[in-house]
Amino acid sequence: MAKIISVISGKGGVGKTTTVSNLGAALVKRGKNVIVIDGNITTPNLSLHLGIPFYPITLHDVLKRKTPIEAAIYEHSSGMKIIPASLSADAVKDIKIEKLEGALLNLLGRADVILIDSAAGLGREALTAMKIADEIIVVTNPDLPSVTDALRTIKLAEESGTKVSGVVINRVKGKKHELSISEIKSMLNVPILTIVPEDSSVPKSIKKRKPVIHHKPNSRASTAFKKLAAKILGEPFKEKKKKKKSWFERLTFWLR
Ligand SMILES: Nc1ncnc2c1ncn2[C@@H]1O[C@H](COP(=O)(O)OP(=O)(O)OP(=O)(O)O)[C@@H](O)[C@H]1O
Ligand SMILES: [Mg+2]
């Protein structure tokens, strides 16, 4: 039976969609059958991150009409399955995101993990994603506004009895003005699942419409997302030691 994990943040733009596309791809690499769902029906962009912006049948059709959810499943080249949301601005009218809970029942036997990319804020979309999840992953950046919103999200989850697996701290630059990891840990009081550095490979991978773990598998961000997948599965993670460059490799690097 699939485990449903929703990725939520409170504050927008902190890296939820990036986390979903990369965690999904990293779980597939660990042999899991994964379905990622764009639960952000007002401003969807999971399918943009994954490079297939047009799908004939989307989650909107499932929620609006009687289309079975199985008809909206597409296979991505990474091996994960995606249920996209419609990119059309009109499609969002009269949508009841709350219907997602019932629709998901038909998917439980079809995957090991179902990841839901939530919308920013704590409106209907995020609250539904929280309600239907077995557990949530909270994404934050190391700044006061996003950590405060992450805290609000965690409190709401705790009040509604949803398990919080932990927090992903994304876009860490190591600057003095940032909140430190220990400050974030003591504010949120949940496990820190992974720390993703600010890494230009991420926007470059989005431009290429690929998860960064495929675009630059050995980048620092990729390593952090692979670590997250191992943590979620309770499996060990071995960080690849970077091979020391020979003097010849160093010379050719500088002469490039
Ligand atoms: N580790 C990182 N390093 C550099 N840039 C990053 C990193 N993570 C995310 N970004 C950039 O931040 C932007 C927002 O990321 P993303 O779309 O994943 O956020 P989101 O939380 O899903 O946003 P929204 O709330 O709008 O759905 C993207 O343009 C991405 O390139
Ligand atoms: Mg997003």
Q: Where are the domains of the chain?
A: 3-255
9 close to ligand 1 (CB < 6 Angstrom): yes
Task: Find the angle CA(72)-CA(157)-CA(183) to the nearest 5 degrees.
Answer: 115
| Location of structure tokens 């705790």 | 158
pLDDT string in tens for the chain (256-residue length): 899 999 999 999 999 999 999 999 999 999 999 999 999 888 888 999 998 777 899 999 999 877 999 999 999 999 999 999 988 777 777 788 888 998 999 899 999 999 999 999 999 889 999 999 999 999 999 999 999 999 999 999 999 999 999 999 999 999 999 999 999 999 999 999 999 999 999 999 999 999 999 999 999 999 999 999 999 999 999 877 666 777 777 777 677 6
- The ligand that comes nearest to the alpha carbon of residue 141 is 1
| Residues paired with residue 25 on neighbouring β-strands, in sequence order | none
Residue by residue, DSSP assigns 60-92 as HHHHHSS--GGGG-EE-TTS-EEEPPP--SGGG
* SS3 state of residue 160: coil
Q: What is the CATH number of domain 3-255?
A: 3.40.50.300
Q: Which of 48, 195, 202 to mutate to test the pocket of ligand 1 (most atoms within 8 A of CB)?
A: 202
Structure tokens belonging to residue 16: 């939820």
Question: Whole-angstrom distance between the N-terminal and C-terminal Cα of the chain?
Answer: 52
Give me ligand 2 centre to Cα 65, in Å: 25
The closest of 44, 51, 118, 52 to 85, measured between CA atoms, is 44
Give, in order, the Cα–Cα distances in Å from 44 to each of 21, 78, 89, 112, 188: 13, 20, 10, 24, 27
